[in-house]
Chains A and B, each alone.
Chain A
Amino acid sequence: MSALAYRTLGLIWLGAVLFFLYAPILVMAAMSFNASEFYQLPFRFSTQWYARLADNQEILDAAARSVLIALCVTAIATTLGSMASIAMFRHEFRGKRLLQVLLFPPIAIPWLITGTAMLIFFFGVGLGRGTPAVIIGHVALAIPYVIVVVTARLATFDPTLEEAARALGADAWTVTRRVTLPWIAPGIVAGALFAFAVSFDQFVVSYFLSEPGDSTLPVLIYTAIRKGFTPEINAISTIIITLSMTVMLIAARYSKFGGDR
């Protein structure tokens, strides 16, 4: 095949990927501005679904709860995960390999099974269902992602820098704060974004662990579309996507996430 054919094929491929990624989202966003409740065409612009959203206390509560849970999860998982990465980077200890290996199967275990197991466990220890259980569950799911991302960043860190700082009289905390953290900050930001996304998108585990009437946004949306789909769901989804894409773009701009620019 000629170079031109390769190039054309490549462009078609790229176009297809972008189409399948973004077309459903764009359709949903468009429909959130359509006056018709039943997705009827021709398209008539309206903001009535957004206006009705403001009156839907149930959706607003769930959205607020989801954001709050995701922020807690991000803070806890990013802190614990980064600390674990640094510890594994700095020290050799017995069982380190085993620990590193054990961190990753949870990513591959189906969430349905993880969720069931957590539910049984939390009832067993007397915690039961509710927001604390959801947060703990999400943290457990998010930590491996944080460790993977932060460890990848640490692999580019020269450990001699820590030695140089110690030789200059810096204690362990100063070394971490002034030398190690500035270098791995982009990795920590990326890890935090992953943790936020894992929690905010989480449906299965949240569904098992949240109490009725106290559900997160994905659980509420699922329950709502079982009763009957309303364009209000499109409206809240469009708001969420706009917000999260803005955050991601800003983070990508500052953390060089996804390669140098």
Chain B
Amino acid sequence: MAHVDVTNLTKTFGTFTALDDVTMDFPDGGFFALLGPSGSGKTTLLRTIAGFLFPDRGAVCIGGQPVSAVPVEKRDVGMMFQNYALFPNMTVADNIGFGLRVRRVGAAEERRRVGAALELVQLGDLGNRRPHQLSGGQRQRVALARAIVTNPRVLLLDEPLSALDKALRIDMQIELKRIQREIGITTIFVTHDQEEAMTLSDRIGILRAGRVVQSGPPRDVYNAPQDLFTAGFLGDANLLEGHADGTHLVLTDGTRIELPVRPGVFEAFAVRPESLTLSADRPRGAGINAIPAVLRQRIFAGAMATCIAERAGQSFKVVARDRDMPDLPENGEVWLSWDRDSTLTIPHAS
């Protein structure tokens, strides 16, 4: 096991800058998610850490050793690919044992460790099957077993769950987390699914246009986004348009709302959909902000419901448990209210 450091990584492809001076550290035993839209550089960063790509500038260190010039086959990393990449000409056991055979551990030792890995991913008796005889979830487990059986220093996952349907994906998320905890391996995974990133990881890094815009524990990043991009990318955010005036924000139509008392200079303000409450009458109370709006749409989604309300040409999204969402007529007047302290205060407008 080892911690991973990348410093000042820059990587260009022709005129396209995929990584722009990225510095990050991935602590030993942590589960780190790299999250960003396509083209943000998250996959390039993962492939540079793996050793498939070499940076134009900057350094990659694994366990304190510089490995920037070491190719992937000598880096001792475990990698799991989006399409599983199981060898079609080999059985499940031979797939898992491939890395051990390359390392010449001996037949008995290989059998023992492949058996243990199969147990770990709960595929005990499928060793003799071929990859094409397995379901998507089983292939996933084989790919994971193959990646960790050599005890690599770091586990790299490239959108590992995106090919699975939703129910199976949630099962695999739980499974992946269990196995990662059990063996305590430093894990870095790339995803564009923000929910998956928050569920699995203990730290996330948000990338945009080749730069890391913010990193930290998911809850911190979610509750205190440092720019508007992060606020809108990790979860949803209703932007409050207006200008700050001391402890208040003056909305474009002149309505004054209260801001939380926090140190710092902020350039933008927003409210999460789940922080908003929808009601027919104006709620009152200390520290409660309320603005009038018109209810446009109510969307039922099982346990949760989403309402779209409109105010001065701007639409607001409200999310609540369906049973907590009041049943109000569409196109009627409503109030949107929220606790002053749940307002997101964003230092950089980006």
A and B bind: yes
Residues of A within 8 A of B (CB): 158, 160-161, 163-171, 174, 178-179, 182-183
Say yes or no: B85 contacts A170, CB within 8 Å. no
Say yes or no: B89 contacts A183, CB within 8 Å. yes
Say yes or no: B81 contacts A163, CB within 8 Å. yes
Closest 10 CB pairs of A and B: A168-B99, A164-B85, A167-B79, A160-B85, A182-B89, A169-B102, A166-B73, A170-B102, A166-B72, A160-B81
Q: Name the distance in Å between A138's Cβ and chain B's nearest Cβ.
A: 32
Q: Bound state CA distance, A37 and B74, in angstroms?
A: 72
Q: Bound state CA distance, A182 and B88, in angstroms?
A: 9
Most chain A Cβ neighbours within 10 Å, of B50, B72, B76, B77: B72
Say yes or no: B81 contacts A164, CB within 8 Å. yes
Residues of B within 8 A of A168 (CB): 73, 98-99, 102, 146, 150
Could you show 28 A-B contacts with beta carbons less than 8 Å apart? A158-B83, A160-B83, A160-B85, A161-B88, A163-B52, A163-B81, A163-B85, A164-B81, A164-B146, A165-B87, A167-B50, A167-B72, A167-B73, A167-B78, A168-B102, A168-B146, A168-B150, A169-B73, A169-B76, A169-B102, A170-B102, A171-B73, A174-B102, A178-B87, A178-B98, A179-B87, A182-B89, A183-B89
B103 contacts partner chain A, Cβ-Cβ < 8 Å:
yes
Residues of A within 8 A of B52 (CB): 163, 166
Q: Bound state CA distance, A160 and B81, in angstroms?
A: 8
A-B interface pairs (CB < 8 A), number? 57
Residue of B nearest to A157 (CB): B88
Residues of B within 8 A of A (CB): 50, 52, 71-74, 76-79, 81, 83, 85-89, 98-99, 102-103, 146-147, 150
Residue of A nearest to B98 (CB): A168
Residue of A nearest to B156 (CB): A167
Say yes or no: A169 contacts B85, CB within 8 Å. no
Say yes or no: A167 contacts B89, CB within 8 Å. no
Q: Name the distance in Å between B175's Cβ and chain A's nearest Cβ.
A: 20
Residues of A within 8 A of B85 (CB): 158, 160-161, 163-164
Residues of B within 8 A of A167 (CB): 50, 72-73, 77-79, 147
Q: Name the distance in Å between A167's Cβ and chain B's nearest Cβ.
A: 4
